[in-house]
Structure 1
Amino acid sequence: MNSALVVIDVQESFRKLPDWEFVSQPDIVSQVDRLVAAARAQDDLVIWVLHSRPGAGTVFDPARGHVRLMDGLEPLGDEPLITKSAHNAFTTTNLHQTLTARGVRRLTVCGIRTEQCCETTARIACDLGFDVVFVTDATATTPIPHRDAPQDLPFSQLVSDPRTLGVVDVVARTEYALAGRFAAIRTVGELAGA
């Protein structure tokens, strides 16, 4: 086994956020499930990552009960489930050691948020010497408000602000930033078949 699928932050926490209704990939679970099935069929390692902020009182605080995989996703007994507290899946975890110990050299990255935790993990993985595949249609994100947008506006109003970066633009920017530099961009169909 020299390949691994890293599933990042596909957790119930995100469904509790006010921006989830504007998510780019509402069927993220089915897309990830297709990649997981393909990885398992090829005997690739599947690693599950959750984002946690203990004591924060937010939906990322494990005490609130939302720091768990979204319904429909289930690790097998030997698949690592790791918890991170940084944007990328390496800095606050033993992911690098786990991959190295198992001889993994190629990572396929999917999950939530396209431009944040997923992209950051892909960049660091490349810097660590891994060959990286980034599966954009198995990632999800939400619109990004402009830096000067009022913090107290409901997200539904922020979305209508013409300065807000829409999900199509967020995904495209990530693909431009990663392709040919940090990762190969692929689709679920290319990796898992029709």
Structure 2
Amino acid sequence: MNSALVVIDVQNSFLQLPDWRHTSRPDIVPRVNRLAAAARNAGDAVVWVLGSRPGSGSVFDPARGFVRLMDGIRPLDDEPVLTKTAHNAFTTTGLHRFLTRRGVRKLTVCGIRTEQCCETTARLASDLGFEVDFAIDATATTPIPHRDAPDDLPFDELVQDPRTLGVDEIVDRTAYALSGRFATVKTVAELTGTPEPTGNPEPTGNPGLTGD
């Protein structure tokens, strides 16, 4: 079966946000690189996707210069880098056409954020008929404030709110929602057939806290 790795939104935009210091995966870059290396060795396609909100003035506005892959990620010349303006990686890109032309029927999804763009892409991919592996520990997310939390409260204070959803709970909920329905939830070690490296993880941006 032809397979592809789809890497979603591992971009500098997130490093500019105040919540990134609370990310679940400060080592997202080396984890993605492990998956990319394994895919290349297997002859699988690797597709890179960037999230963009043109004209928004936010860090996701291309005019700000942050809509680019994080340092340490180097796509090969034949690996497409697509730009999306929706949460999922299909609707506003040529991803489906690219995969169809390659005869791809199985996808591995990873990237940022776990419960948002990554989960949404996995769900849609399943509905489109793809077999999906969700690389749960090669996705990253940040705490989610309660819907009634004040908009002007600093994020470092929001994470102290007991109503804020912590990263561990977000990741667990995503795994429960996808597993057996839309995707097979796997680890990088399972997908690459290699053990976790020893030593301290390589950080991306400001490591900060990893829980609520």
TM-score tier by shorter-chain length is over 0.9
| 1:131 paired residue number | 131
Q: Which residue of 2 aligns with 1:119?
A: 119
Task: After TM superposition, list the pairs within 5 Å mapping 1:42-53 onto structure 2.
Answer: 42-53=42-53
Taking only aligned residues, the RMSD between alpha carbons, in angstroms, comes to: 0.6
Q: Which amino acid aligns with 2:15?
A: R
2:18 is paired with a residue whose SS is coil
Q: CA deviation at 1:191?
A: 1.2
Q: What SS does structure 2 have at the residue aligned with 1:7? A: strand
Give the structure, 1 or 2, with the largest relative contact order (CA under 8 Å, sep 6 or more): 2
User: For 2:190, what is the secondary structure of its paired residue?
Assistant: helix
Is the partner of 2:69 in helix, strand or coil?
Answer: coil
Q: Which runs of 4+ in 1 moved over 6 A?
A: none
Deviation at 1:185, TM superposition (A): 0.5
Q: Give unpaired runs (5+ residues) of structure 1.
A: none
What is the TM-score with the length of structure 2 in the denominator? 0.91
The residue correspondences of 1:165-176 to structure 2 (distance < 5 A) are 165-176=165-176
Deviation at 1:105, TM superposition (A): 0.1
Residues 118-140 of structure 1 deviation map (CA, whole Å, 9 limit, x = unaligned): 00000000000000000010000
- Could you tell me how far apart the structure 2 residues matched to 1:23 and 1:63 are? 25
Could you list the runs of 5+ residues in structure 2 that have no partner in the other structure?
196-212
Equivalence for 2:199: none
Q: Does 1:103 align with 2:78?
A: no
Q: Give the TM-score, by structure 1 length.
A: 0.99
CA distance in 2, matches of 1:128, 1:166: 31
1:98 maps to amino acid: F
Q: Distance in 2 between matches of 1:52 and 1:74?
A: 19
Distance in 2, matches of 1:60 and 1:8, equals 14
Residue 150 of structure 1 corresponds to 150
Give me the identity figure in percent.
72
Question: In the alignment, what sits opposite 1:61?
Answer: 61
Aligned partner of 2:182 in structure 1 is 182
**Structure 2 CA distance, aligned partners of 1:46 and 1:29?**
15
